Amino acid sequence: MDHFQYRDGALYAEQVSLTHLAAEHGTPTYVYSRATLERHYRAFDDALSSVPHQVCFAVKANSNIAVLQVLAALGSGFDIVSGGELRRVLRAGGDPAKVVFSGVGKTEAELRLALEHGVGCFNVESEYELLQLDALAQQVGRVASIALRVNPDVDAKTHPYISTGLKQNKFGVDLITAERLYRHAATCKGLKVVGIASHIGSQLLDVSPYLDALDRVLALVDRLAAAGIVLQHLDVGGGLGVRYRDEQPTEPADWAAAFLPKLAGRKLTIFTEPGRAIAGNAGVLLTRVLLLKPGEAKQFAVVDAAMNDLLRPALYQAWMDIVPVQPQDRASAVYDVVGPVCETGDWIGRDRELSIAPGDLLAVRTAGAYGFVMSSNYNSRGRAAEIIVDGNRAVVVRERESFDDLIANERLLDPR
């Protein structure tokens, strides 16, 4: 359920007409709903309410500063993967003590920044990082709280590009190595061992890979405890899927009910890092039909949003729902909905039956996660505007990039 609903024949975000938003602010534009963000955050918070826990929103899914601000105000922590994401969290009023810092390639500058701001936990993903962090922490006179991100080698049964918990994936360290590294970390002056983390992939529709991963991780937790290394928290990662078409994703309450019994008898605070399940259905991408172009094999609807605005279809062949904002009663046809970018792979949807004409406004649904954040300036296109709706109010959080913005930081060679 989300707060994008039809009323009197037109699509609204909460109480705001998307037709009006597009008329006033242009397209392509991402629109987010505060109420949906809040409801999804609460679904995770409530699902874990029987145990000590911390929900850490995965900033990579949607790093819009107002989105982060809404979540921070609800008490959310954040899962970050770069210094840039840390800056955004701080700017949005997030508490660095509730931040977990994941990532396979943290730079020295990023580690220093995170140490300086006292992030809650470094989710360490390699031996190199562990040793580097210990040295840096000692250098700056701090102690870094750490978890090792373990790679439990389970098949999350998702798209290969978004599976992260198989041994052929670059993420985390295997369980045997992790045990050795924990024993070493326990002796390091710059480190405090506090937890363990695992994240096996994204857009997971079934809880069984989660449960398999958890069994392997808990076996390590118990082996460590027997060796005197007692962990305080278990970070189960994110990854719960959403419905793009007809998927039946597991709800947070059912997901929690499935795994919480496994923790009985252990005193572990649960961390989770959902991104898509919180932000996905909280956003749409508004785009206008530029023209209709009949071809010999296909009819094309050329719209003003392209793969630079929404990469998921081109990158993962992802199916995203495309709906008219003001459906009209006229003949329909089957179109490939494509953007203006000079790539055959630049499509938003294929073989879609739509009743549209040039100038019509379309909404790509479930675009609140991995939408704007994956956008680029390819073909020197300015990035889309971002608006957040709160009841009957709409706030432009980020203006559309102008052509001037695009070249503002570029320099010409001195004349010869």
Ligand X SMILES: Cc1ncc(COP(=O)(O)O)c(C=O)c1O
Ligand Y SMILES: N[C@@H](CCCC[NH3+])C(=O)O
Binding site for ligand X (CB under 6 A): 58, 61, 79, 102, 164, 199, 202, 237-240, 273-277, 369
Nearest position to ligand Y, beta carbon: 370
Shortest distance in whole angstroms from residue 164 CB to ligand Y: 6
- The item of ligand X, ligand Y, none sharing an interface with residue 352, based on CB under 5 to 8 Å by kind, is none
Neighbours of 353 (CB within 10 A): 8
Residue 30 assigned ligand-binding role = no
Cβ-based nearer residue to ligand X, 58 or 306? 58
Closest to ligand X by CB, 233 or 381: 233
CB 92 within 8 A of CB 65: yes
Between CA 251 and CA 48 the distance in angstroms is: 12
> Is 42 annotated as ligand-binding?
no
Q: Return the one option of ligand X, ligand Y, none that residue 239 interacts with (CB less than 5 to 8 A, by type).
A: ligand X
Question: Using an 8 Å Cβ cutoff, are 326 and 10 in contact?
Answer: yes
Which of ligand X, ligand Y, none is residue 312 near (CB under 5 to 8 Å by kind)? Answer: ligand Y
d(CA 258, CA 210): 9
Say if CB 403 and CB 394 are below 8 A apart.
no
- Report d(CA 132, CA 19) in Å as an integer: 52
Question: Cβ 238 to ligand X, closest distance in Å?
Answer: 3
What are the backbone dihedrals phi and psi of residue 254, each rounded to the nearest 5 degrees, phi first?
-70, -35
Answer whether 242's CB lies under 8 Å from 369's CB: yes
- 56 labelled catalytic: no
Taking alpha carbons only, the member of 169, 73, 188, 160 closest to residue 125 is 169
Task: Please check if 312 is assigned to a binding site.
Answer: yes
Question: 274: annotated binding-site residue?
Answer: yes
Residues that bind ligand Y (CB under 6 A): 60, 162, 164, 202-203, 312, 316, 370
Nearest-10 crossing angle of helices 34-47, 252-259: 20
Annotated binding site for substrate: 276, 312, 316, 343, 370
Annotated binding site: 239, 273-276, 312, 316, 343, 370
Annotated binding site for pyridoxal 5'-phosphate: 239, 273-276, 370
Active site residues: 342
